[in-house]
Structure 1
Amino acid sequence: MEWSPSDAATMIARPGAHDDKYSRGVLGVMTGSEQYPGAAVLGVDSALRTGVGMVRYRGPERATNLVLQRHPEAVTAEGRVQAWLLGSGMGEPDDDMRRMLLDALSEKVPTVVDAGALGLLGHASGPVVATPHARELGRLLGVEPDEISADPARWCAVAAERLGAVVLLKGSRTHVAGPRGTRLACAEATPWLATAGTGDALGGILGALLATHSAGLAGGGEEAERMLVRLAATASLVHSLAALRASGGAPFTVLELNAAIPQTVAGLLSGIAE
């Protein structure tokens, strides 16, 4: 089934008059590294632009400083979160980071698991969306990336069943699958989206959506899984439409994609999508 803009609009939470920064969702972000600190900036930026009440960032000192320079509203103190975004911009985590990631995975809140955290998927105790590209999924499954790219819909479903998690397989056409067989796909994205950092932005969008829907995901089960699949597809669609808006048929930067997210969300909510 192909996920449409009208479908996506139903998965975007609108704040009400009585909402505050906590009820609008608090997203914990543990991303970036000394080698790739920009991933932290891009994910925090896209999450805030998608719509959450607060982002709590925890990561290396250099990445933390860059996040605060870009977004002084980001909170770096420990505290309760309603969802996590883990692993973007990380390689194999060192012992200290591994402990931090495992602590986050033990919290039983909805979690986006990306890049350097994918190897820890089996430790998750709450609802999870894994967001690999074909090479990362190939490493997880012991399959050649070219084989995955030749039939991404099938391998996304296989991965969801084997890993016991919702899987969003990144590519020119994104596929999402749940362990119980729910499958969605999004329209093919602009080729200009194939640039460094766009996956970090996608993680932030998805993390924000999970945080704003944490109450509906609590407890797990089949309905929560279906919601996770729909939220993952919605994140992909917002990402793709923001890229189209930023591109206009030409190259663009990831920060330009992020800057287009609010108007993209507004267009979806008003029934007008590019």
Structure 2
Amino acid sequence: MLREWTRADTSVLLRVPSVDDDKYSRGVVGLRTGSAAYPGAAVLGVEAAWRAGAGYVLYTGEARDAVLAKRPETVARTEVGRTRVGAWVIGSGTDAEHRSADERAELDAILRGDAAVVVDAGALDLAGEGSAPTLLTPHAGEFAQLRARLGLDELDLSHEDDRTTAVVETARRLRATVLLKGARTVIAGPDHDPIVVGNAPSWLSTAGTGDVLAGVIGALVAADPGRPLAQSAAAAAWLHGHAAARASGAAHGAAGHPIVALDVADALPGAIGELLS
């Protein structure tokens, strides 16, 4: 049965810090994202993780200077060190064809770890590898490539029933959670009923918003690592869509206006505050 995710579903999953929380207990997000060619993806993901409530953000990718110029609060280094990461985000703004041996070794270590991993864009070729709990976040083109690599049938993704069937089948094959981005985002875990999130305005379909979504997911997973990944992903997708509606002026049925990905990240704190009020 397909579950339509709601505002109320999202609200109950947002964790408000208590007086006993510190930066670590609020959630540590690690990002191995971005590259010399695409540093902006790293900036957007880091910004979104902070704006969605992470207590600590660790960045270990190749866009250190760009990340620190935008978010100096970020801890940026070439290795994880002793930091206990609650959730990783990998792949945004990277290209598997240009992956170095060092980068591959770092990604392998992350995928063999205990923390959940959000696998986006340039790391989707590693789906199914490692032992960490994983959440894949492809768009339609990447999803079709993933299914072809797995030897699964090509389906018409323009129909929601077929999209849902494909996401469920892929999640079960990989024993992972899959989030297929779109106007109506479909999410399924290997052992959970599928979820659809359909609150995003059409203005959200612009470059970089997927990088923002990956950062939001990382923050929500790190804040509550015991929750099923499908639920955290659905809450993140709903929050992402709601922030976009606020940023674009498209809330309450208004036509709205164009936005860029950073606008969505900037709107996250207000969107969270509204849900918690």
TM-score (norm 2): 0.89
After the TM superposition, list the runs of 4 or more consecutive aligned residues in structure 1 that deviate by more than 4 angstroms: 143-146
Root-mean-square deviation (CA, aligned residues, Å) is: 1.5
1:80 is displaced (CA, Å) by: 2.3
Q: What is the SS of the residue equivalent to 1:260?
A: helix
1:181 is displaced (CA, Å) by: 3.9
1:146 is displaced (CA, Å) by: 7.0
Letter in 1 for 2:171: A
- Name the structure 1 match of 2:111: 105
1:174 corresponds to which of 185, 192, 202: 185
Q: What is the SS of the residue equivalent to 1:122?
A: coil
Between the aligned partners of 2:176 and 2:245, the Cα distance in structure 1 is: 29
Trace 1:26-37 onto structure 2 (pairs within 5 A): 26-37=28-39
Q: What is the SS of the residue equivalent to 2:24?
A: coil
1:122 is displaced (CA, Å) by: 1.8
Q: Which moved more, 1:114-123 or 1:227-236?
A: 114-123
1:23 is displaced (CA, Å) by: 1.0
The unaligned stretches of length 5 or more in structure 1 are: 218-226
Residue by residue over 1:43-80, the C-alpha shift from the partner in whole angstroms, topping out at 9 and shown as x without a partner, is: 000010000110000111xx110000000000013332
Between the aligned partners of 2:32 and 2:157, the Cα distance in structure 1 is: 28
Between the aligned partners of 2:192 and 2:241, the Cα distance in structure 1 is: 24
- Name the structure 2 match of 1:147: 156
User: Cα distance 1:96–1:199, how it changes in 2: closer, same or farther (>3 A)?
Assistant: same
Structure with bigger helix share is 1
Q: What is the SS of the residue equivalent to 1:148?
A: coil
Q: Is the 8 A contact 1:182 1:229 kept in 2?
A: no
Residue by residue over 1:66-95, the C-alpha shift from the partner in whole angstroms, topping out at 9 and shown as x without a partner, is: 000000000013332111011111111232
- Name the structure 1 match of 2:252: none
Q: Percent identity?
A: 45
- Name the structure 2 match of 1:236: 237
- Name the structure 2 match of 1:88: 92
Q: Is residue 202 of structure 2 the alignment partner of residue 198 of structure 1? A: no
Q: What is the SS of the residue equivalent to 1:161?
A: helix
The unaligned stretches of length 5 or more in structure 2 are: 250-255
Between the aligned partners of 2:180 and 2:104, the Cα distance in structure 1 is: 24
Residue by residue over 1:109-162, the C-alpha shift from the partner in whole angstroms, topping out at 9 and shown as x without a partner, is: 111111111111222312211101111111111168772333322211111111
2:257 corresponds to which of 242, 250, 253: 250
Between the aligned partners of 1:237 and 1:204, the Cα distance in structure 2 is: 14
Between the aligned partners of 1:41 and 1:22, the Cα distance in structure 2 is: 21
- Name the structure 1 match of 2:220: 209
Q: Is the 8 A contact 1:134 1:170 kept in 2?
A: yes
Residue by residue over 1:226-255, the C-alpha shift from the partner in whole angstroms, topping out at 9 and shown as x without a partner, is: x21111100100010000001111001111
1:187 is displaced (CA, Å) by: 1.6
